[in-house]
Amino acid sequence: MTTTDPASIDPASIDPASTDPASTDWISVARTVAADLAKDAAERDKANKPPFEEADRLREAGLLTLLIPSERGGGGADWRTAYAVIREIAAGDGSIGQLIGYHYLLSWNARFFGGPAVVERLDRAAAEGRWLWGGAFNPRDPDVVLTPEPGGHGFRLDGRKSFATGARVADRLVVGATRSDSGEPLVVFVDPAHPGVVRNDDWDNFGQRLSASGSVEFRSVPVAADDVIGSLSQDDGVLSPFATLVTPAIQLVFVHFYLGIAEGALAAAADYTRSTTRPWLLSGVESATQDPYVLATYGELAVAARATRTLADHAAEAVQQGLDRGHDLTEHERGEIAATVAAAKVQSTKAALDITARILELTGARSTASAYGFDRFWRNARTHTLHDPVAYKLREVGDHFLNGAHPPFTLYT
C-alpha cells in the first residue's frame, strides 16, 4: 500500500502497467484522480463538454480495467473495491462517478448474460484497449431492433435510445435490442466507431452534465453472431438468479455515487467554512468554526453520511458474496441481497439530497456565487435520483420487513 500523499501525485504519471495490479492501492489511485477532478469541477460543469478528457484521466490511472482479472491484463480487483472507487471519483465529480460506475456494470454484462468464451474474449480485448464501456440499455426505450441477416450471417441493428450513459465517449457500447423475428430481448455489444452509430450531443440536463448520457442512434449497424452476449428474456428459467444480480449491482452503483456526491459536498463546504465563512454577528464567537449551530449542523450531516456509508459498505459485501456464489446463488439469496441494496438506496437518496441542499446553510450567502459551484452537488444528486423513484424502494423495504417479500426482478434502468 502506498504511503505517498495522494494530493501530491499527478494522475497522468500513474502507469498501472509498471506495477503489480494485485498490490496496487486502487482507493488511493481513485482519490488522487478525484482530487484532480475536483480542482476544476465547477468550471467543467458550466462548460458541459463531452468528457473525453475525463475519460482519459480514468484510463491513464488504470481504473477502467480495474475489474478485469490480472491474468488477463486487468487490475484484478473485486466489486467491493470498484464500489469504493466509484464513491471516491464521485466525491470529486459526480458526473464522472456515474460514468465509471456505469462502465463497471456494463463491462460485467458478459458475465451476467454470456458464457465463459465471450467473457474471456472481451476481458482480453478490453484490457489491451483500455476500453470505456457505455450503454444503450434503458428498457423503457424498447425501440432498438435486431434483424437477422439472410443466410444466418449476423444481424442488423436499428433504432434509438434516448438515455445512454457514456455513449458519447465510449470505446464499446452494450445495447439492449429486440429480435425482429422472435421478439426475444437480447444484449449485444457494438463498436461505436461504425458510421451507422450516431452519438448525439443532446444531454443538456441541469445535473450530471458530464455523464455523457445523451441519445444514440443505430442505422443498419452490423452485429456479428459472436457479438450477441445473451438473452434478456424474463420468461421462467431463462435468467439465473446470478444473472438477475445485474439490477442490485447497478442500484448499488447509484448508492455509491450518491454517497460520493454527498461526501464531496460536505468536504467542500467544510473547507469553505474553515477558510471563508464569517461568524454571524449575534453568535458571540470569533470564527464560524466555533458557532454552536454550525457545529451541530455539521454533526448532523456527518452522522447521516457515516450511516449511509455503513449501509453502502454492508450492501457491497452482500453483492460481492452473491457474485462469488456465481450460478450456485439461490432465488432466496438473491432476494435478500436485493432487499439489502434497496435499504441502502433509500438511505443514500435521502442523505444525498439533504446534505447537498443544507451545506449552503453552513457556508453562507456569499458561497452562492457561481464561481464556487456549490449548487452542482444538489443538481447532480437531484437529477439522477429522479430516474428511479425512491418511494418504490421504500415499498420494497417495507414489504420485506413486514411480509418477508423480496423485491421483484426488473431490468435496471
CA 351-356-359 angle, 5° bins: 115
Say whether both 121 and 140 belong to one domain. no
Identify whether residues 16 and 77 lie together within a single domain: yes
Identify whether 236 is part of a domain.
Answer: no
Domains in the chain: how many in total?
3
Give the CATH number, domain containing residue 221: 2.40.110.10
Amino acid residing at 407: P
In a domain, 380, yes or no: yes
Q: How far apart are the first and last CA of the chain?
A: 37
Predicted local distance difference test score (pLDDT) of residue 22: 54
Residue 410 lies in a domain: no
Residues 210 and 154 in one domain: yes
Contacts of 51 (CB under 8 A, 6+ apart): 44, 95, 96, 99, 169, 210, 211, 212
Q: Is residue 145 part of a domain?
A: yes
DSSP state of 49: -
What's the chain's Rg over C-alpha atoms? Answer: 22
d(CA 382, CA 330): 35
Neighbouring residues of 403: CB distance < 8 A, sequence distance ≥ 6 = none
Element spanning 174, H or E: strand 172-179
Query: Which of these three, 231, 252, 267, is where a domain ends?
Result: 231
Report yes or no on 327 lying in a domain. yes
Can you tell me the distance from the alpha carbon of 56 to that of 117, in angstroms, rounded to the nearest whole number? 29
Q: Is residue 408 part of a domain?
A: no
Q: What is the block-wise mean pLDDT of the chain (413 residues), using blocks of 10 residues?
A: 34 41 81 97 95 97 97 96 98 98 96 94 96 86 88 91 92 94 93 95 92 94 94 86 96 98 98 93 89 95 97 98 96 97 98 97 93 96 93 96 92 60
- Work out the number of other CB atoms within 10 angstroms of the CB of residue 349: 24
In this prediction, residue 21 carries a pLDDT of: 52
User: Residue 396: which CATH number?
Assistant: 1.20.140.10
- Domain membership of residue 412 (yes or no) is no
Considering the domain architecture, whether residues 269 and 337 belong to the same structural domain is answered as yes
Mark whether 184 and 301 lie in a shared domain.
Answer: no
What is the DSSP code string of 60-104? Answer: HTTGGGTTS-GGGTS----HHHHHHHHHHHHHH-HHHHHHHHHHH
pTM exceeds 0.85 for this model: yes
104 and 167 together in one domain = no
Give the range of the structural domain holding residue 146, as residue numbers without chain letter. Answer: 134-231
What pLDDT, on the 0 to 100 scale, is given for residue 235? 82
Residues 300 and 366 in one domain: yes
Q: Grid coordinates representing 187?
A: 444484449
Same domain, 12 and 109: yes
Residue 52 sits in a domain whose CATH number is 1.10.540.10
What is d(CA 36, CA 47) in angstroms, rounded to the nearest whole number? 17
Within this chain, do residues 250 and 396 fall inside the same structural domain, yes or no? Answer: yes
Distance CA 157, CA 222 (A): 6
- Among 231, 263, 298, the domain boundary falls at 231
Q: Are residues 274 and 399 in the same domain?
A: yes
Instruction: Give the per-residue pLDDT at 18.
Output: 40
Does residue 273 share a domain with residue 182?
Answer: no
Residue 301 placed within a domain: yes
325 and 221 co-located in one domain: no
Cβ pair 297, 358 in contact under 8 A: yes
At 294, phi and psi to the nearest 5? -65, -45
Domain boundary among 66, 99, 132: 132
